[in-house]
Amino acid sequence: MKLFDVYPLFDVNIVRGKGCHVWDDKGDEYLDLYGGHAVISIGHAHPHYVEAVSRQVAALGFYSNSVINKLQQEVADRLGAISGYDDYQLFLINSGAEANENALKLASFHNGRTRLVSFAKAFHGRTSLSVEVTDNPKIIAPVNDNGHVTYLPLNDIEAMKDELAKGDVCAVIIEGIQGVGGIQLPTTEFMQALRRACDENDTVLILDEIQSGYGRSGKFFAHQYAGIRPDIITVAKGIGNGFPMGGVLISPKFEPVYGQLGTTFGGNHLACAAAIAVLDVMKAEGLVENAAKVGAFLLDELKGFSGIREVRGRGLMIGLEFENPIKELRRRLLFEQKVFTGVSGTNVLRLLPPLCLSMEEAGDFLNRLHKVLD
């Protein structure tokens, strides 16, 4: 059987990782400024994580959501404490798209409405509602194109207030920092106005922190820079350091209803062991603080580079916008300089390294970038 050929692939076979480095099957070492697409939060093959996941799989990998799973409560307790959302409720699933799907359903169950607001360049996943609120017609299948969504320009306070004032918007979904859209930051004024407008119009505010959350921005959640509290927050990617997992953090104003949401695999024992180990390491090693420190250093240094049109970001979520397409630059970084990076559109290089990136590794990256820009 052939693989369904939907991914344009680099000709590299990664077989091993450690911290912020990975190795291919020929033994070549690479610096990982991509984190497998913002997934590796605590670093590759962290010994505490390896030990916790190995121990759990040897004891019990999976049992169903029809019995008590104390590990789920442990994830909820630790996540509530580290994020400042102790009073919220946690629903666990397996991916980012599923997290947004459940968040949007919950909003609609809550206020009975069907209209959704999303923003230009937004990306929220590839399942039915998640893809419908994604601003990319190329990946919205006709069956998903159901007219629920109005897309507004990011940071346009008047347009947002006018749309919500119509009084029939179920939910607004917004990324803490847009990732796929090219590292676009919502302003503090916009986020605060959005919070107020949602309150005034009984609209649910959903913060998609799937890429920008879990410490990546230098705060646990990127929206915390604006000092607001959303009604629902979605997480995935870094939550399991590579183990597939997603979560929905739900404000106390939502009452759970038996059977309304559910999943076979979500919150299974192995996923929870991975998530607990991630939170252990984030706390013990101060990874949120490290992301803030190393990210600030990188942002500062990169702003001094010539040839880059704009540098945007927070913490270890950084976009470098170039005048021209960067396909060749990215290829040279990978094959000549042995550095993995991400991309947004054609002109933005995206940096999403593990949150344990050291100052030395950041400096090493800057030297290698210099070599391809000179």
Ligand X SMILES: Cc1ncc(COP(=O)(O)O)c(C=O)c1O
Which of 35, 179, 230, 315 lies at the binding interface for ligand X (CB under 6 A)? Answer: 179
Q: Closest separation between CB of residue 236 and ligand X, Å?
A: 5
Q: Which strands make up the sheet holding 14-18, listed edge to edge?
A: 14-18, 21-24, 29-32, 339-340
Assess contact for 73 and 90: CB atoms under 8 A.
Answer: no
Question: How many residues of this chain interact with ligand X, rule: CB under 6 A?
Answer: 14
- CB-closest chain residue to ligand X: 96
Long-range Cβ contacts of 330-333 (<8 Å, 24+ apart) = 331/10, 332/372, 333/368, 333/369, 333/372
CA 223 vs CA 8, 9, 216, 219: distances in Å: 33, 33, 12, 9
Which of 106, 152, 169, 210 lies at the binding interface for ligand X (CB under 6 A)? Answer: 210
Confirm or reject binding of residue 211 to ligand X (CB under 6 A).
Answer: yes
Assess contact for 205 and 238: CB atoms under 8 A.
Answer: no
Terminal C-alpha separation, the chain: 45
CA distance 309 to 84: 36
DSSP 8-state class, residue 84 = T
Q: Which is nearer to ligand X, 243 or 254 (CB)?
A: 243
Q: Closest separation between CB of residue 224 and ligand X, Å?
A: 16
Which residues between 213 and 242 bind ligand X (CB under 6 A)? Answer: 236
Q: Closest separation between CB of residue 251 and ligand X, Å?
A: 20
Q: Which is nearer to ligand X, 72 or 234 (CB)?
A: 234
Contact track, ligand X, 146-175, x by CB under 6 A: -----------------------------x
Q: Which is nearer to ligand X, 56 or 100 (CB)?
A: 100
Contact track, ligand X, 87-126, x by CB under 6 A: --------xxx--x----------------------xxx-
Binding site for ligand X (CB under 6 A): 95-97, 100, 123-125, 175, 179-180, 208, 210-211, 236
